[in-house]
Amino acid sequence: MKWLARLFPTDDRASETSTDDLHRAAAALLMEVARTDGEVDEREERLLIQAVQRHWRLDDTEMADIVSELRERVEAATDLFEFTRPLRERWDPETRVRLIYDMWAIAAADGKADVHEEQLIRRVSELLYVSHGDYIRGKMAALGEDG
């Protein structure tokens, strides 16, 4: 069974979502930020891989699996709720805030965050129940702005 199928069960059985599946969902959200502006540049990809390896230690094979499966799933997804719901339900607030900070770091990899990246991160932070203050602090930290 593929990891996305475990994240999004289609029947009434209890979800078999593992910790690794949650890490993959978070990596998917980071990947979505990287591709929001139309292309994933080298800096964004490097930050994405560093964040994944630092927090969740997914190996290269797992990352390749995520990338290939996400291309299909993200194109078909109608709402970020699919990716955020399991994280909101299973992760503590601190871990969810850390994900928002990582999303901002990827968005700002080119020195600025475009409006589409900002909107995506705002929506994800709302879906994860991350406070607006933490959202703003993540943005300021990533863009090197004084607060």
Return d(Cα 103, Cα 89) in angstroms, integer: 19
11 assigned to some structural domain: no
The closest alpha carbon to 4, from 95, 70, 78, belongs to 70
Report residue 16 as tokens.
């078999």
**Is it the case that residue 35 has pLDDT exceeding 50?**
yes
**Number of domains, the chain:** 1
40 assigned to some structural domain: yes
Residue-wise pLDDT for 78-106, tens only, equals: 567 878 999 999 999 999 999 999 999 99
Higher pLDDT, 45 or 108: 108
End-to-end alpha carbon distance in the chain: 46
Print the domain residue range for 86.
Answer: 20-143
With tokens 């719901």, the residue in question is: 85
1 assigned to some structural domain: no
Return d(Cα 105, Cα 48) in angstroms, integer: 9
Q: Which amino acid is at 147?
A: G
42 assigned to some structural domain: yes
The segment with the largest mean pLDDT, out of 28-32, 33-37, 49-53, is: 28-32
13 assigned to some structural domain: no
132 assigned to some structural domain: yes
pTM metric for this prediction: 0.76
10 assigned to some structural domain: no
CATH number at residue 87: 1.10.3680.10
12 assigned to some structural domain: no
Q: Which of the four pLDDT bands, split at 50, 70 and 90, describes residue 50?
A: confident
The closest alpha carbon to 68, from 1, 3, 124, belongs to 3
